[in-house]
A and B are shown apart, each in its own frame.
Chain A
Amino acid sequence: MSHVDILKLKNDGSQEKIAVCSLKDGMADCQGSESLVKSLLEEGIRSHSGKERTTLFPKDGIRFLEELKYHFDSGYLNATDVVND
């Protein structure tokens, strides 16, 4: 099963996993921080590339998972690449 971890940076430089988005039946299922998951479901994320950046939602499945790392890369909140278990 493919998944992406979303990690929050702590004061000592370590990171805490606050959400996980996993591919299930072609869609991303996000679990974890209630507010973050709600934001992903309702607002989605903007695609990284393309002339017009589209908004992706968990229903967009693997494409959504692949874009998470570009969306969350501030350092304070980072998403891993897609991990294939």
Chain B
Amino acid sequence: MEIKERKIEGVKEPAGEKREPTRRESLGLTPRTPEEEILEMREKVSSKPIRGWSNRAHFISFKDDGDGVFKPLLEEYKQERAAYLVDRFLGFDFVPPTIVRAIDGKLGSIQQFIHDASLIYDTPERKRDIYKADLIKLWIFDYIIWNMDRHGGNFLLKDGKILAIDHGSAFSDRNLFFPYKSYPNELIPQEIIEKINKFLSWPEGIKILSDLLGELLSEEEVKACVARIKKLGKLLEKGRIDSSDKLNFDPKLN
């Protein structure tokens, strides 16, 4: 996957909000997608709290179209953004665009809201086979980001594809990895293996991703994430992961 790096002349401030440029922005190198720019730059026109146990998240509508889910949640917004970056660099392409931004004085993550998405609960079990390849990809992705909280309520379905959301519990320092489903001994789709190998053969990409993650996570967490990708590269030489136990390894804890 190619990440286009663009020089940005100055930092455009989102309407009504100010933030300090990141280190990479100061260097004039920030690989932003158009969707990320929309989330980052568009003026907020409305904000509705999403009712839940603490009304922590908000449904944000932007000027000139576009909606997002805003989570000003302690430090969790960093994990949300980090998971999106890993997804982008690997080319898995199933985490909706996610940026960090201040809204009404609170710093948090904003993720593009996916309209007309359904949940796995909306799909009869006998019809869930079409998602198997994506669920395998989700299993592998969750290992890479060391996600300790994946279940049917935090991924979406749309147009025959899975979209992974809610990564506030990723990059955990706890020895807990909880995928939605595991696929030991199943043939891993070639597309996934190729994407991982392509990333691993791109030293500049590894460096850029590590730098970007370093703005969000500890050095230890970044190194562990890269180590997990490398471990997967080795495991997938056989085309399958013969035991779920092999994905319990977290180099940070060893």
Contact = CB atoms under 8 A, between A and B. Distances in A.
A35 B124 contact: yes
A72 B155 CA distance: 11
Contact of A13 (B48, B120, B149, B154): B48
Contacts of A77: 119, 153-154
Interface in A24-58: 33, 35-36, 39, 43, 45-46, 52-53
B121 A74 contact: no
Interface of B is mostly: loop
Contact of B52 (A35, A46, A52, A79): A79
A73 B119 contact: no
Interface in A61-80: 69-80
Contacts of B121: 33, 35-36, 39
A41 B141 CA distance: 27
Contacts of B149: 46
Contacts of B50: 9, 13, 15, 75, 78
Given A13-B48, A13-B67, A74-B165, A79 B119 contact: no
B52 A69 contact: yes
B3 interface: no
B61 A70 contact: no
A74 B59 contact: no
Nearest to A19: B121
Where chain A touches its partner, the secondary structure class is mixed
Contacts of A71: 151, 153
The number of chain A residues touching the other chain, given as a range, is 20 to 34
B156 A76 contact: yes
Given A13-B61, A53-B178, A71-B151, A76 B53 contact: no
B237 interface: no
Nearest to A35: B121
A69 B124 CA distance: 25
Contacts of A39: 121, 152
| A36, A74, A78, A80: residue with the most chain B Cβ atoms closer than 10 Å | A74
B221 interface: no
A7 interface: yes
A36 to B, nearest CB: 4
A39 B125 CA distance: 11
B27 interface: no
Contacts of B57: 73, 75, 78
A75 B71 contact: yes
A6 to B, nearest CB: 9
A73 B124 CA distance: 23
B122 A13 contact: no
B53 A80 contact: yes
A7 B153 contact: no
B11 interface: no
5 contacts: A15-B50, A72-B52, A73-B56, A75-B50, A77-B119
Interface of B: 46, 48, 50-54, 56-57, 59, 61, 67, 69, 71, 115-117, 119-125, 148-149, 151-154, 156, 165-166, 176, 178
